[in-house]
Structure 1
Amino acid sequence: MTSSVKAVEALGITKRFGPTIALNGAGIAITEGETHALVGRNGAGKSTLVSILTGLQRPDEGEVRFGGEPAPPLADRDAWRQRVACVYQKSTIIPTLTVAENLFLNRQTDRGAIRWRGLRARARQLLEQYGVDVDADGLAGDLSVEQRQLLEIARALSFGARFIILDEPTAQLDGPAIQRLFDRMRSLREQGVTMMFISHHLDEVYEICQSVSVFRDARHIVTTTVGDLPHAQLVDAMTGEATAAYEYRSRTADASAPVVLAARGLSLAGRYEDVDLAIRSGEIVGLAGSGSSGKVGLAETLVGLRRADTGTVTVNGTEVKPGDVPSVLAAGLGFVPQDRHHQGFVPLLSIAENATIPIAGKLGRYGMISPARRRERGARMIAELDIKTTGPDQPVADLSGGNAQKVVLARALADDPRALVVINPTAGVDVKAKHSLLGAVEDAAAQGTGAVLVSDELDDLRICDRVLVMFHGKVVKDVPRGWTDSELVAAMEGIEH
Structure 2
Amino acid sequence: MAASDITKRYGATTALLEAGIAVAPGETHALVGRNGAGKSTLVSILTGLQRADSGEVRFAGEPAPALSDRDAWRRLVACVYQKSTIIPTLTVAENLYLNRQGGGLINWRSLRRRASGLLDGYGVDVDPARVAGELTVEQRQLVEIARALSFGARFIILDEPTAQLDAAAIERLFDRMRQLRDSGVTFMFISHHLQEVYEVCQTVTVFRDARHVLTAPVTDLPHDELVSAMTGDAGPLLSSGAARAPVGDAPAVLSVGGLRLAGFYEDVDLTVRAGEMVGLIGSGSSGKVALAETIAGLRKADGGTVTVAGNRPRPGSVPSALAAGLGYLPQDRHREGLVPLLSVAENATLPIAGKLGPAGVIAPARRRAAARRMIGAYDIKTAGPDQPVNALSGGNAQKVVLARALSNDPKALVMVNPTAGVDVRSKESLLGAVASAATGGTGVLVVSDELDDLRSCDRVLVMFHGRVVREVPRGWADADLIAAVEGVRAPLEGAREQ
Please give the range of the TM-score, normalised by the shorter of the 2 chains. Answer: over 0.9
Correspondent of 1:176 among 168, 183, 202: 168
Question: Hey, what does 2:122 align to over in structure 1?
Answer: 130
**Which residue identity lines up with residue 120 of structure 1 in the other structure?**
R
Q: Which moved more, 1:92-101 or 1:175-184?
A: 92-101
Question: Hey, what does 1:395 align to over in structure 2?
Answer: 388
1:362 equivalent in alignment to 2:355: yes
5 Å-filtered alignment, 1:206-225, equals: 206-225=198-217
Q: Please state how far the C-alpha of 1:211 moved relative to its aligned partner.
A: 1.1
5 Å-filtered alignment, 1:266-345, equals: 266-345=259-338
Structure 1: distance between partners of 2:409 and 2:9: 38
Q: Please state how far the C-alpha of 1:254 moved relative to its aligned partner.
A: 2.1
Structure 2: distance between partners of 1:316 and 1:439: 24
Question: Hey, what does 1:13 align to over in structure 2?
Answer: 6
Question: Hey, what does 1:3 align to over in structure 2?
Answer: none
Question: Hey, what does 2:188 align to over in structure 1?
Answer: 196
Correspondent of 1:244 among 236, 246, 260: 236
Structure 2: distance between partners of 1:282 and 1:413: 14
Structure 2: distance between partners of 1:35 and 1:183: 13
Secondary structure of the corresponding residue to residue 204 of structure 2: strand
Q: Please state how far the C-alpha of 1:348 moved relative to its aligned partner.
A: 2.1
Q: Please state how far the C-alpha of 1:165 moved relative to its aligned partner.
A: 0.1
Structure 2: distance between partners of 1:495 and 1:233: 34
Question: Hey, what does 1:27 align to over in structure 2?
Answer: 20
Residues 24, 218 of structure 1: 8 Å contact kept:
yes
Question: Hey, what does 1:84 align to over in structure 2?
Answer: 77
Q: Please state how far the C-alpha of 1:432 moved relative to its aligned partner.
A: 0.8
Question: Hey, what does 2:406 align to over in structure 1?
Answer: 413
Secondary structure of the corresponding residue to residue 366 of structure 1: helix
**Which residue identity lines up with residue 82 of structure 1 in the other structure?**
R
Question: Hey, what does 1:4 align to over in structure 2?
Answer: none
1:157 equivalent in alignment to 2:156: no
Residues 252, 465 of structure 1: 8 Å contact kept:
no
Q: Please state how far the C-alpha of 1:204 moved relative to its aligned partner.
A: 1.1
Secondary structure of the corresponding residue to residue 381 of structure 2: coil
Q: Please state how far the C-alpha of 1:487 moved relative to its aligned partner.
A: 2.8
Structure 1: distance between partners of 2:94 and 2:350: 38
Structure 2: distance between partners of 1:480 and 1:203: 24
**Which residue identity lines up with residue 104 of structure 1 in the other structure?**
Y
Summarize deviations over 1:248-298 as a string: whole Å, max 9, x none.
121243232111111222111111111122211111111111111111110
**Which residue identity lines up with residue 98 of structure 2 in the other structure?**
L
Structure 2: distance between partners of 1:323 and 1:243: 44
Q: Please state how far the C-alpha of 1:411 moved relative to its aligned partner.
A: 0.4
Q: Please state how far the C-alpha of 1:70 moved relative to its aligned partner.
A: 1.7
**Which residue identity lines up with residue 112 of structure 2 in the other structure?**
R
Question: Hey, what does 1:37 align to over in structure 2?
Answer: 30
Structure 1: where are the runs of 5+ without partners?
Answer: 1-7
Residues 32, 207 of structure 2: 8 Å contact kept:
yes
Q: Please state how far the C-alpha of 1:63 moved relative to its aligned partner.
A: 2.4
Secondary structure of the corresponding residue to residue 358 of structure 2: coil
Structure 2: distance between partners of 1:34 and 1:310: 51
Structure 2: distance between partners of 1:338 and 1:50: 24
Secondary structure of the corresponding residue to residue 184 of structure 1: helix
Q: Please state how far the C-alpha of 1:467 moved relative to its aligned partner.
A: 1.0
Structure 1: distance between partners of 2:218 and 2:452: 24
Structure 2: distance between partners of 1:491 and 1:207: 22
Residues 238, 452 of structure 2: 8 Å contact kept:
no
Question: Hey, what does 2:485 align to over in structure 1?
Answer: 492
Q: Please state how far the C-alpha of 1:246 moved relative to its aligned partner.
A: 2.7
Structure 2: distance between partners of 1:27 and 1:152: 26
Q: Which moved more, 1:475-484 or 1:332-341?
A: 475-484
Structure 2: distance between partners of 1:107 and 1:266: 48
Structure 2: where are the runs of 5+ without partners?
Answer: 490-496
Question: Hey, what does 1:187 align to over in structure 2?
Answer: 179
Q: Please state how far the C-alpha of 1:413 moved relative to its aligned partner.
A: 0.5
Structure 2: distance between partners of 1:495 and 1:191: 34
Q: Please state how far the C-alpha of 1:75 moved relative to its aligned partner.
A: 1.8
Secondary structure of the corresponding residue to residue 459 of structure 1: helix
Correspondent of 1:255 among 225, 241, 248: 248
Residues 458, 474 of structure 2: 8 Å contact kept:
yes
Summarize deviations over 1:41-76 as a string: whole Å, max 9, x none.
010000011111111111122222211212122122
Summarize deviations over 1:458-497 as a string: whole Å, max 9, x none.
1211111111110000011121222222332222111235
Q: Please state how far the C-alpha of 1:139 moved relative to its aligned partner.
A: 2.0
Structure 1: distance between partners of 2:151 and 2:420: 30
Q: Please state how far the C-alpha of 1:229 moved relative to its aligned partner.
A: 1.9
Residues 346, 367 of structure 2: 8 Å contact kept:
yes
Correspondent of 1:142 among 130, 134, 139: 134
Q: Which moved more, 1:168-177 or 1:408-417?
A: 168-177
Structure 1: distance between partners of 2:231 and 2:486: 35
1:383 equivalent in alignment to 2:376: yes
Residues 237, 425 of structure 2: 8 Å contact kept:
no
How many residue pairs get aligned? The number is 489
Summarize deviations over 1:145-172 as a string: whole Å, max 9, x none.
1111111100100011111000011111
Q: Please state how far the C-alpha of 1:231 moved relative to its aligned partner.
A: 1.5
Residues 286, 453 of structure 1: 8 Å contact kept:
yes
Structure 1: distance between partners of 2:443 and 2:248: 12
Residues 272, 443 of structure 2: 8 Å contact kept:
yes
Structure 1: distance between partners of 2:258 and 2:88: 32
Question: Hey, what does 1:5 align to over in structure 2?
Answer: none
Residues 30, 188 of structure 2: 8 Å contact kept:
yes
Structure 2: distance between partners of 1:324 and 1:16: 45
Q: Please state how far the C-alpha of 1:446 moved relative to its aligned partner.
A: 0.8
Structure 1: distance between partners of 2:311 and 2:231: 46
Structure 2: distance between partners of 1:474 and 1:252: 29
Secondary structure of the corresponding residue to residue 376 of structure 1: helix
**Which residue identity lines up with residue 325 of structure 2 in the other structure?**
G
Q: Please state how far the C-alpha of 1:90 moved relative to its aligned partner.
A: 1.1
Q: Percent same amino acid among aligned pairs?
A: 71
Question: Hey, what does 2:493 align to over in structure 1?
Answer: none
1:452 equivalent in alignment to 2:445: yes
1:350 equivalent in alignment to 2:343: yes
Summarize deviations over 1:279-336 as a string: whole Å, max 9, x none.
1111111111111111111001100111111122111111111111111111111111
**Which residue identity lines up with residue 46 of structure 1 in the other structure?**
K
Structure 2: distance between partners of 1:112 and 1:385: 55
